[in-house]
């Protein structure tokens, strides 16, 4: 059907398969049977065109197999044609396919129909590839079983050619066919591997090498005889000389030239690909370098930005410290309900937070700015680390107050007492960590001796209760106003602590006594405000003393009673909680607006927090928010409250430290004050006596001239003695009033104030 393609009448299986390997013959054949079924056949390239690649040849096979399958003829795998897969099964399949194609063609010719196909079975018995190779060692020594009989197939083609091919022509044609196949095989394998070494060779040398390599193989010896009759004649049959005609030589030459030019083109192509590849590689490297530069620039900018943000925050904190503002941190609890949508839109690393009602997305977003924001993944340790410096300043004599504020269930107790609400020693909150830290500092400072004492109270339904007393029901405490105008709890139990374990025991006791109960918003809701106060008194080796206190306040959570579903006792508690928080809000607002009157007296909570909110303490508010969209209103209210608190200026905090000299002077002042008080007492009783005597005398002698009051003479004498020149003499009454006011004053400022005034009057005493 396709004319001769270089096979002998009885080719071996390898020869047969090799002739079909490029798929050209198969495609041509099937196109004859079914015209156009393989529209594009990649043929052997002419000398002047691009050489076909192994891949393109593979395309031929693939297209052929698709067409065969479409005709429902027995098929084979493309890999069956590969040299390494020449086992009997593969060859058998290929032969079966070709035979069935042939019978299909014959049937079509006879009947013109495409009836069911009966194809011929392969004449090959299944044998292993090793057998096949070993049996076909020499050309022409094949047996009928080992070789394919293509006589019938070739008959048609040969009939059109000259009849009676002589042995010589036949052998030569065979040799040419073999030569073609060898070169084709080599080319295919060269293209498959694209081995640079092969392609680098001079094409003529390359073809020469290929040929000599192949021809040296045992099976091609007869071919060698054909090509080089002299050599062969001397070796084997000296009398049999095969003459090659000029035209045949020319053919061979042309073939070699074609191969040569193909190889050259291949080489050029390879060089071009290499150049392209190199330029691509260079471009890629340039791109990578540029990308690296860009990334470096971006990371530098990011670093700079972070640095600037950090500096900004530090400056802001410093400014707040100088102004003595209440510092505000905000902590966001993790979402408890996975079905809820978060109302937190963004948390910036500069302490900003943006919130939005997720159920009303059209409402405007609100942005708040605090000293620090802690996201839902922040750990207790991280929170403590940020508050540590503040807490540590207690040891340097500063009063410190940390307030946990927020709606019910937002995590205040979690932060202050730990996840278990302080009932377990395994998970700890700021309270415990702070005290632990204070002990660490006290042991590390060997030159200072510290005395640490703890008080723990709660404000439940507007009553102050001692949490460290065994019987809490009977320990209602009264808030007393001290001489310095501040409120305190002199009757609250003050427990000295020596170690963290003492603290733990006290805290567990306190938390056990604290009022808590379940609500719809929190299973274990704190129903009271708890205040843990740590009093620290330090004395160093030179006698300098410091005294300070740390208030750790866990406020009860504000709640909407419709949401907390509080009734009965819970409702009463909620009302008290909300009222006292509202009083706290009023105080904060008044402080923020710098009003002259601050309504501390409106609730027990504000009374007790007066020194922290309006004194010289360092105060930190830890605002807690729940991220659930359902709590958006409460979240907004907490954030607004915290924002207002952050504007409250307390003034620069002072350390309550006294050097030894000051203390001695103060003691001196105290002694002088006492002496003065005694003198005043004596004077007033003397005056009283004198008055009594005078009035009695007046009664007895009404006509007599009234005597000169002795008091005046006394005062004049003393004034003359001790008064400062140019200053008017002081009235003894005013001096007495002063001493009564200041004699009992305990706070530092008043004592210093008292000391100054006593100095003025010191001369009077002297
Ligand atoms: N940061 C957090 N990580 C994990 N769980 C938390 C966190 N904050 C709070 N919770 C959990 O949320 C629940 C409520 O917390 P918590 O009791 O501390 O709230 P609260 O603000 O003190 O409430 P209330 O004011 O009603 O006392 C608890 O189960 C607690 O474990």
Phi and psi angles of residue 12, each rounded to the nearest 5 degrees, phi first: -75, 170
User: Among 418, 420, 522, which is best to mutate for testing ligand 1, by the most ligand atoms less than 8 A from CB?
Assistant: 522
Task: Describe the strand order of the beta sheet including 366-369 as a list of residue ranges.
Answer: 344-347, 352-355, 366-369
Q: Which ranges in 324-407 belong to alpha helices (H)?
A: 380-392
Give the distance (Å) from ligand 1 centre to CA of residue 638: 15
**610 CA to centre of ligand 1 in angstroms:** 27
C-alpha closest to that of 436 among 512, 496, 501: 501
**In the chain, which segments carry CATH 3.40.850.10?**
327-658
Among protein residues, the one with the nearest Cα to ligand 1's atom 8 is 411
Ligand 1: centre distance to CA 162 (Å): 105
Q: Which two tokens stand for residue 413?
A: 């107790």
* The pLDDT of residue 761: 36
Q: Which residue numbers in the chain have pLDDT < 70?
A: 44-53, 83-88, 111-173, 175-176, 179-245, 317, 320-324, 421-426, 472-475, 483-486, 520, 561, 564, 566, 651-655, 658-660, 701-766
Alpha-carbon gap, residue 97 to 94, rounded angstroms: 5
Quickly list DSSP for 562-580: HHHT--HHHHHHHHHHHHH
SS3 181: helix
**Pair type for strands 463-466 and 448-460:** antiparallel
Q: State the greatest distance between any 2 C-alpha atoms of the chain, in Å, as a whole number.
A: 192
| Atom number of ligand 1 nearest to Cα 419 | 31
Question: Nearest to residue 30, comparing CAs of 19, 38, 21, 42?
Answer: 38
Ligand 1 midpoint to CA 421 (Å)? 8
| 526 Cα nearest atom in ligand 1 | 27
| pTM for the model | 0.52
Helix (H, G, I), strand (E, B) or coil at 242: coil
Residue to probe by mutation, ligand 1, list 329, 406, 409, most atoms within 8 Å of CB: 409
C-alpha to C-alpha distances, 674 to 300, 636, 734, 744, 746, nearest whole angstrom:
69, 56, 17, 10, 14
Question: What is the structure's pLDDT at 5?
Answer: 77
Residues 428-445: pLDDT tens digits? 889 889 988 998 888 888
Distance 673 CA to ligand 1 centre (A): 53
Ligand 1 atom, smallest distance to 331 CA: 1
CB 327 within 8 A of CB 622: no
Distance from residue 626's CA to the centre of ligand 1 (Å): 9
**How do 372-374 and 480-481 pair as beta strands?**
unpaired
Fold for 13-109, please state it: Actin-binding Protein, T-fimbrin; domain 1 (1.10.418)
Nearest CA to ligand 1 atom 11: 411
- Residue 428: its pLDDT value, please? 82
Pick the CATH number of 327-658 from 3.90.1300.10, 3.40.50.1170, 3.40.850.10, 2.60.120.10: 3.40.850.10
In this predicted structure, what is the pLDDT of residue 46? 56
**pLDDT at residue 717, rounded to an integer:** 38
User: What long-range pairs does 204-212 form, CB within 8 A, spacing at least 24?
Assistant: 204/256, 204/260, 206/263, 207/183, 207/256, 207/259, 207/260, 207/263, 210/182, 210/183, 210/186, 211/179, 211/182, 211/183
Q: Hey, what are 556's tokens?
A: 């009860």
Q: What is the pLDDT of residue 17?
A: 81
pLDDT computed for residue 752 by the predictor: 32
Domain with CATH 1.10.418.10 in the chain: 13-109
Point out the annotated binding site for ATP: 406-413
Binding residue numbers: 406-413
**Structure tokens of 618?**
């360092």
Structure tokens at 546: 């410091």
Residue carrying the six token digits 């070494």: 197
Give residue 33's pLDDT.
Answer: 87
Classify strands 327-332 and 372-374 as parallel, antiparallel or unpaired.
parallel
Nearest-atom number in ligand 1 for the CA of 557 is 25
Between the CA of 347 and the centroid of ligand 1 the distance, in Å, is 20
User: Residue with the nearest Cα to atom 1 of ligand 1?
Assistant: 333
Pocket of ligand 1 (CB under 6 A): 333-334, 406, 408-414, 419, 522, 524-526, 556-557, 624
């Amino acid at each position: 059907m396709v004319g001769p393609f270089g096979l002998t009448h009885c080719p071996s299986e390898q020869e047969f398969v090799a002739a079909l390997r490029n798929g050209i013959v198969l495609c041509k054949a099937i196109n004859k049977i079914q015209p156009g079924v393989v529209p594009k056949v990649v043929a052997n390239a002419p000398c002047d065109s691009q050489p076909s690649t192994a891949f393109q040849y593979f395309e031929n096979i693939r297209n052929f197999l698709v067409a065969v399958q479409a005709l429902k003829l027995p098929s084979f795998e493309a890999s069956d044609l590969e040299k390494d897969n020449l086992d009997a099964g593969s060859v058998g399949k290929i032969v079966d396919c070709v035979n069935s194609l042939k019978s299909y063609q014959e049937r079509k010719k006879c009947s013109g129909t495409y009836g069911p196909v009966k194809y011929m079975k392969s004449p090959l018995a299944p044998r292993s590839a090793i057998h096949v190779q070993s049996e076909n060692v020499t050309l022409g020594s094949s047996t009928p079983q080992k070789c394919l009989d293509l006589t019938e197939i070739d008959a048609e083609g040969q009939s059109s050619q000259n009849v009676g091919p002589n042995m010589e022509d036949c052998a030569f044609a065979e040799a040419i066919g073999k030569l073609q196949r060898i070169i084709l095989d080599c080319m295919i394998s060269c293209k498959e591997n694209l081995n640079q070494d092969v392609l680098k060779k001079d094409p003529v040398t390359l073809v020469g090498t290929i040929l000599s390599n192949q021809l040296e193989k045992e099976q091609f010896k007869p071919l060698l005889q054909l090509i080089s009759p002299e050599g062969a004649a001397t070796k084997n049959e000296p009398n049999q000389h095969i003459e090659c005609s000029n035209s045949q030589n020319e053919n061979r030459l042309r073939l070699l030239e074609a191969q040569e030019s193909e190889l050259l083109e291949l080489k050029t192509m390879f060089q071009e690909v290499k150049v392209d590849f190199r330029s691509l590689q260079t471009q890629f490297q340039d791109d990578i370098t540029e990308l690296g530069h860009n990334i470096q620039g971006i990371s530098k900018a990011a670093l700079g930005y972070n640095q600037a943000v950090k500096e900004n925050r530090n400056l802001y904190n410093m400014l707040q410290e100088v102004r003595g503002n209440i510092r505000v941190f905000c902590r966001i609890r993790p979402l408890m309900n996975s079905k809820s949508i978060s109302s937190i839109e963004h948390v910036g690393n500069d302490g900003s937070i943006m919130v939005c009602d997720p159920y009303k997305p059209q409402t405007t977003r609100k942005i708040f700015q605090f000293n620090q924001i802690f996201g839902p993944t922040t750990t207790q340790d991280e929170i403590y680390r940020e508050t540590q410096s503040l807490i540590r300043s207690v040891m340097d004599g500063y009063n410190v107050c940390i307030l946990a504020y927020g709606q019910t269930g937002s995590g205040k107790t979690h932060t202050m007492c730990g996840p278990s609400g302080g009932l377990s020693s395994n998970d700890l909150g700021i309270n415990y960590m702070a005290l632990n830290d204070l002990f660490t500092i006290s042991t590390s400072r060997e030159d200072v001796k510290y005395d640490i004492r703890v008080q723990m109270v709660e404000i439940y339904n507007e009553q102050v209760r001692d949490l460290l007393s065994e019987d809490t029901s009977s320990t209602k405490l009264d808030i007393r106003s001290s001489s310095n105008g501040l409120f305190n709890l002199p009757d609250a139990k003050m427990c000295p602590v020596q170690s963290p374990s003492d603290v733990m025991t006290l805290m567990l006791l306190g938390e056990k006594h604290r009022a808590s109960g379940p609500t719809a918003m929190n299973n274990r809701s704190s129903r009271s405000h708890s205040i843990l106060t740590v009093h620290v008194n330090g004395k160093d080796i030179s006698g300098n003393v410091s005294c300070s206190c740390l208030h750790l306040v866990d406020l009860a959570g504000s709640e909407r009673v419709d949401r907390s579903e509080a009734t009965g006792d819970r409702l009463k508690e909620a009302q008290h909680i909300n009222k006292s928080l509202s009083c706290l809000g009023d105080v904060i607002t008044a402080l923020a607006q710098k009003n002259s009157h601050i309504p501390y007296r409106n609730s027990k909570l504000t009374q007790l927090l007066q020194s922290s909110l309006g004194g010289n303490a360092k105060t930190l508010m830890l605002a807690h928010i729940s991220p659930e969209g359902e709590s958006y209103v409460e979240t907004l209210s907490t954030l607004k409250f915290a924002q207002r608190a952050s504007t409250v200026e307390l003034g620069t905090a002072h350390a309550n430290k006294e050097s030894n000299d000051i203390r001695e002077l103060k003691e001196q002042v105290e002694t002088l004050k006492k002496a003065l008080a005694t003198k005043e007492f004596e004077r007033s009783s003397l005056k009283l006596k004198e008055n009594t005597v005078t009035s009695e005398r007046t009664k007895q002698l009404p006509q007599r001239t009234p005597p000169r009051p002795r008091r005046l003479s006394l005062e004049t004498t003393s004034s003359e003695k001790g008064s400062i020149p140019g200053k008017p003499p002081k009235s003894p009454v005013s001096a007495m009033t002063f001493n009564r006011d200041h004699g009992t004053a305990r706070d530092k400022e008043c004592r210093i104030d008292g000391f100054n005034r006593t100095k003025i009057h010191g001369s009077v005493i002297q």
